[in-house]
Structure 1
Amino acid sequence: MEAAELLSEATRVEPGDYEPVGGDAHAYATYTSGTTGPPKAAIHRHADALMFVEAMCRKALRLTAHDIGLSSARMYFAYGLGNSVWFPLATGGSAVINPSPLGAEAAAKLSARFGPSVLYGVPTFFARVVDECSPDSFRTLRCVVSAGEPLEVALAERITEFFGGIPILDGIGSTEVGQTFVSNTVDEWRLGTLGKVLPPYEIRVVAPDGTTVEPGVEGDLWVRGASIAPGYWNWPDLPLREGWLNTRDRVRVDDDGWVTFRCRADDTEIVGGVNVNPREVERLIIEDDAVAEAAVVAVKESTGASVLQAFLVPASGAIVDESITRGIHRRLLTRLSAFKVPHRFATLDRLPRTPNGKLMRGALRAEAPTKPIWEVPLIEPEADAHAVVENRPVPNVPIVGGDIGGVTLNERLAVLQQERHRLVVEAVSEEAAKMLGEPDHRSVNRDLAFAELGFDSQMTVQLCKRLAAVTGLRLPDAVGWDCGSISGLARYVDAALSGWDRGLGPAPTTHTRANGHSPIEEELTKLEAMVVSIGDSEKQRVADRLRALLGAITGGEGDLGKRIHAASTADEVFQLIDSEFGES
């Protein structure tokens, strides 16, 4: 329903009966994400929102009626509910509400369209934004807010550079508290920390014996404030001590009040801001006769995104090799959501444990940088995935001058890579949507396991054949099932297409189709038709990318290379393309 229609309906509805209630009356409940057991509905009162609105909305972010928020967190999470409902209601501001889960590409499009001033998300979301989007889409932002999982310093620095140095505000909250109670603020922020406690909340760091520790000493984070839920729905009351709640987060607080996150006190792993129970995954892994023990932990990739890694202890006399781990991975994809399936596998003689037998997951995270015996091929495709152009390799491209018009060659290539990845993701999504009978590829969740989308192994083989026809690549039949999801398969195809320009193999093929046109010709025709409908400035940007791409293909040499280099306007670039393909 459109907003205008909704408002029109509202004017014709008579107000219902109501009765006054006090601030202590129950208002709503939000479910926990299951960190310490089954999800529980934390009850909140009418007055609770006023407290975390005062703390985060007014003091930390200084939101006003002029602010527009965009949140990747959904409104059924406490984090998303505050971002998209309570904060704009309290200030008279606005929120951009997306009907489907917000990915990096959608965030860029919505930001370019609505011009939000604040972007809320989790670190994994921001890692994807930095990798897949252009900063130009986010020029209206005045700050970025991160929560839900630890924000590593390396990723925070990348985010800061990407967004042009605006405040990057990491913080921590909980469903029981209602929203954020420790955070960096627009007035004072420090990368690598969670910020400081937000008044009127109080915090303290507690040792195992229940005493408050000295500054700089690690302990459990406890919080006290009037918005803490009085209890759970149909569940025993919260274990409060004189109003204090143990968050089960391990932190350090320095002399100046800056809070640094260390780890969770429990074993729950966090991937993309979503809690994963590793024992659920481990139980399925050890169903394989070759595996005696298994442990799953979340590790950080070089991009800052979090993924799961499984450590396997072989059963007596068994050998756990690539074929075994590949089989385990395929089986997990049929039993679990995609985000719960490990991407990396390694073997150990034994798992690290405490003297009383408890698994030391922190020690496993320290082992994670070691090379795994097998990992999902999301980055580098297999050697036979590379295609050919008349069996001729693309010549090396000489680089003359590193700075063109104030933009370095690396920056230009980075833009090209981002655009290529976006097009590949759309292509894979469109083919998958056709097979599922979905008219709009955007309605298909790219991160769900193929099995959850309704694909079986034969359908993924057919999907790969369709993609091979579109791209000209020779894709292994099993690669779709191995990659697990639309997003995973898109990363594989993107890597296969880009292998030639990294010197990893020959260039993509230009097979001629039955209609006499090659896939490249058809794609260029589509692209030119799209360009007709966009503005001159954007048209020039597309032309610049095409010129750089054509220059790479030709090697920048010969008559064609010179004409490509000489083409300056968008129309000249497209005329050159037409002439090369024999178009009028």
Structure 2
Amino acid sequence: MSVSLLLEMAQDAALAEPDRVAVVSGDLRLTIAELSTLADGAAGVISASGAQHVAYVGAGGAMLPLMVFAAARAAVPITPLNYRLSAEGLRTLIGRLPRPVIIVDDEYRDMVGDLPGHAVQIMSPADFIATARTSPPAAEYADPDSVAVVLFTSGTTSAPKAVELSHNNLTSYVMGTVEFASAEPGDAAAISVPPYHIAGIGAALSNLYAGRKAVYLSNFDATEWVRLVNRETVTSATVVPTMLDRIVTVLEGLDESPLLPSLRTLAYGGSKVAAPLVRKAMTLLPHVGFVNAYGLTETSSTIAVLTPEDHRTALASSDPATARRLGSVGQPVPTIEVQVRAPDGAVLGPGEPGELYVRGEQVSGRYTGIGSVLDADGWFPTKDVAYLDEDGYLFIGGRSDDTIIRGGENIAPTEIEGVLVEHQHVRECVVVGADDDEWGQIIVAVVVPRGDPEPDPEELRGFVRERLRGSRTPDRVVFREQLPTNATGKTLRREIVDELNTSAKEFT
């Protein structure tokens, strides 16, 4: 099924309310019919250019759903690019796209350059929309197995890979996880995740399919996010961990009750969220249903969900196994199969950690220039260390590449992080392996302290030692004002490791 059919279905469902707003982005407000008409004209612009690909460099907003549907109706793939990259990094990725037409926000125009002989056309969003309003429309039905969206991975440990998501992958995700036209009149979703992240693509498609108004905040600011939720009476929202942390800080400074009264659901994901932060957010917003959504670019977004009821049950439970589920990503969605495998490929049982494999229609596992990495039975190796508990709740232990090997023993850093972050003087932390001549690697805890003064490193080491085996005790504790993260809140572990290793060499 083509992605463009999702828009047609949403348009048919909205016939009874033709004036109902579907997309809000700054001063721009579009109904479903207006979005569809504009997408047809934009598809005509793309087709007339002769482009084989659409690239978008910008902060998103209404441009994201418009361009996703326009590209689908022109039957060419689209790639939203990370506008936070350097000019060189941005041009390198554009150079990997065949004959692109490039739509670029004005503030990033100089970074893109002219790209003579490569770019078919370079346009500003304003020019693109103006041309689309007068262009002869185009509306092809792309092959469901053809590529709809190409997203570059973050490339925090290696060169970015280009993940290919087909129309069938994306529509399978949406239709398998969202009930069509299920939104209530007045429902609105706040979208502040960047357009080049799979969560941004998923939000653009799934909210439209549900019939929910999509309200965009292109440049995230926690104070403005709170104002937006209240002004637009937002009922649901999706954030990444760093956003949630900043939102909680703003809410703690407000003298209002209840906070965010219109909000019913708040989903978070993109990387691991510390349990103390989740507990604090739930306490501040007792009327809100929290959702932890886990997924990957290669899986077209969410594949496991910890539901609001799961959150409340875990928070209230005195049973350690049930309470521990607050740190899980929940259970797989109905259309996804999961396995946890040992290095020899054997499927592991409950409580046994190994590499997570997933299978389902929404799973791509295909990269430009590499091809499919699915095994013979269609299973995708996520490279995430994980385990399932007795009731099928999935716990993610980090990337397999993050495993610390100290004196021949494999150590999962997330196990130590989960303990350290519970200390009253720890705001954030990341645990990494630094090079060591004697042990191969040593355990280094990088801590962002909560308030002044900094806690005693020995106190933190003892706190871990009391709760985990001695071999899990950090060899070193270092303090930072903040952790380096990418735009989706993922900690840049490799950057930290490189800094630690370089510092060690300077003093040897």
The alpha carbon displacement at 1:311 in A equals 8.3
1:47 deviation in Å? 2.0
Q: CA deviation at 1:18?
A: 3.9
Task: Tell me which amino acid in the other structure corresponds to 1:146.
Answer: Y
Indicate yes or no: 2:115 matched with 1:90: no
Letter in 2 for 1:118: S
Change (3 A) 1:30 1:312: closer
Q: Measure, in 1, the Cα distance between the counterparts of 2:344 and 2:182.
A: 39
Matches within 5 A, 1:290-305: 300=421
Instruction: Decide whether aligned partners of structure 1 residues 376 and 207 sit closer, same or farther in structure 2, where only a CA change above 3 A counts.
Output: closer
Q: Alpha-carbon deviation of 1:174?
A: 0.4
Q: Which amino acid aligns with 2:189?
A: G
Give the conservation status (yes or no) of the 8 Å contact 1:48–1:178.
yes
Question: Aligned residue for 2:331?
Answer: 196
Alpha-carbon separation, structure 2, partners of 1:235 and 1:313: 31
- 2:199 is matched with 79
Structure 2 Cα separation of the partners of residues 249 and 224 of structure 1: 14
What secondary structure, in the 3-state scheme, does the structure 2 residue paired with 1:141 have? Answer: coil
Contact 1:208 1:219 in 2 (8 A): yes
Q: Deviations over 1:215-261 (max 9, x none)?
A: 22222111101122252123343243411011122222123211122
Give the 3 Å change call, closer, same or farther, for CA 160–212 of structure 1 in structure 2.
same
TM-score with structure 2 setting the length: 0.52
The residue aligned with 2:381 is 246
- Indicate if the aligned counterparts of 2:267 and 2:291 stay in contact, CA closer than 8 A: yes
- Find the counterpart in structure 2 of residue 20 from structure 1: 141
2:230 maps to what in 1? 112
Per residue, is there more strand in 1 or in 2?
2
What's the counterpart of residue 99 of structure 1?
A: 218
Q: CA shift at 1:268, angstroms? A: 8.8
Residue equivalent to 2:348? 213
1:127-173 CA-partner distances (Å, limit 9, x unpaired): 22212223755221111111111123222211111111522211310
Task: Work out whether residues 124 and 306 of structure 1, in 8 Å CA contact, stay in contact via their aligned partners in 2.
Answer: no
Identify unmatched segments of 5+ residues in structure 2: 1-25, 39-128, 315-325, 405-412, 438-453, 459-467, 490-508
- Aligned counterparts of 2:28 and 2:247: Cα–Cα separation in 1: 29
- CA, structure 1 residues 115+144, in 2 after alignment: closer, same or farther (shift >3 Å)? same
Alignment map for 1:493-572 (pairs within 5 Å): none
Q: Any unmatched runs of 5+ in structure 1?
A: 270-294, 316-343, 349-361, 379-444, 448-584
Q: Is the 8 A contact 2:149 2:165 kept in 1?
A: yes
1:70 equivalent in structure 2:
190
User: 1: distance between equivalents of 2:402 and 2:232?
Assistant: 40
CA distance in 2, matches of 1:67, 1:116: 7
Which residue in the other structure is 2:174 paired with?
A: 53
Contact 2:365 2:380 in 1 (8 A): no
Q: Is the 8 A contact 1:111 1:137 kept in 2?
A: no
State the secondary structure of the residue aligned to 2:328: coil
Instruction: Tell me, in whole angstroms, the C-alpha distance in 2 between the residues paired with 1:139 and 1:303.
Output: 31
User: TM-score under structure 1 normalisation?
Assistant: 0.46
Query: Is the contact between residue 173 and residue 361 of structure 2 (CA under 8 Å) also seen in structure 1?
Result: no
Deviation at 1:72, TM superposition (A): 3.5
User: C-alpha separation between the residues in 2 aligned to 1:238 and 1:94?
Assistant: 37
Q: In structure 2, how many angstroms separate the alpha carbons of the residues matched to 1:46 and 1:77?
A: 17
Q: Which residues in structure 2 correspond to 1:263-412 (within 5 Å)?
A: 263-267=398-402, 300=421, 306-307=428-429, 367=473, 372=477, 375-376=479-480
2:212 partner letter: G
Equivalents in 2 of 1:58, 1:23: separation in Å?
Answer: 21
Quote the residue 1:462 is aligned against. none
Tell me which structure has the larger Cα radius of gyration: 1
| 1-structure distance, mates of 2:390, 2:434 | 42
- Change in Cα spacing, 1:305 to 1:114, as seen in structure 2 (3 Å) is farther
Contact between 2:331 and 2:393, CA under 8 Å: does it hold in 1? yes
**2 CA distance for matches of 1:303 and 1:236?**
47
- The change in CA–CA distance for 1:303 and 1:58 in structure 2 (over 3 A counts) is farther
Call closer, same or farther: CA 1:303–1:80 in 2, change over 3 Å: farther
Cα separation, 2, equivalents of 1:44 and 1:214:
31
- Distance between the aligned counterparts of 2:221 and 2:164, measured in 1? 30
For residues 415-455 of structure 1, give each alpha carbon's deviation from its aligned partner in whole angstroms, at most 9, with x where no partner exists.
xxxxxxxxxxxxxxxxxxxxxxxxxxxxxx9x9xxxxxxxx
- Structure with the bigger RCO (C-alpha within 8 Å, sep 6+) is 2
The equivalent residue for 1:162 is 284
Matched, 1:127 2:245: yes
Distance 1:97 1:268, change over 3 A: farther
CA RMSD of aligned residues (A): 4.3
Residue 355 of structure 2 aligns with an amino acid whose one-letter code is: D
Indicate if the aligned counterparts of 2:265 and 2:291 stay in contact, CA closer than 8 A.
Answer: yes
Q: 2:261 is matched with which residue?
A: 139
Using the TM superposition, give the Cα deviation of residue 77 of structure 1 relative to its aligned residue in structure 2, in angstroms.
0.2
Number of residue pairs matched?
A: 312
Find 1:232's aligned residue among 361, 367, 373.
367
One-letter amino acid of the structure 1 residue matched with residue 205 of structure 2: W
Instruction: Give distance in 2, aligned partners of 1:244 and 1:250.
Output: 15
What is the SS of the residue equivalent to 2:327? coil
Contact 2:259 2:285 in 1 (8 A): no
Q: Tell me how far apart the structure 2 counterparts of residues 311 and 177 of structure 1 sit (CA, whole Å).
A: 29
Query: Counterpart in 1 of 2:152?
Result: 31
Which letter does structure 1 place at the counterpart of 2:206?
F
| Correspondence 1:150 to 2:175 | no
**Distance in 1 separating the partners of 2:425 and 2:240:** 14
Question: What is the Cα deviation at residue 35 of structure 1?
Answer: 5.8
Partner SS, residue 402 of structure 2: coil
CA–CA separation in structure 1 for the residues paired with 2:431 and 2:394: 28
Give the helix-richer structure, 1 or 2: 1
Distance 1:164 1:142 in 2: 10
User: Quick check: 1:73–1:121 contact (8 Å CA) kept in 2?
Assistant: yes
**Residues 9/311 of structure 1: CA separation in 2 closer, same or farther (3 Å cut):** closer
C-alpha deviation, 1:302, in angstroms: 5.1
CA deviation after TM superposition for structure 1 residue 307, in Å: 4.7
Shift of 1:188: 4.8
SS in structure 2 opposite 1:223?
strand
Answer yes or no: is the 8 Å Cα contact 1:128–1:305 preserved in 2: no
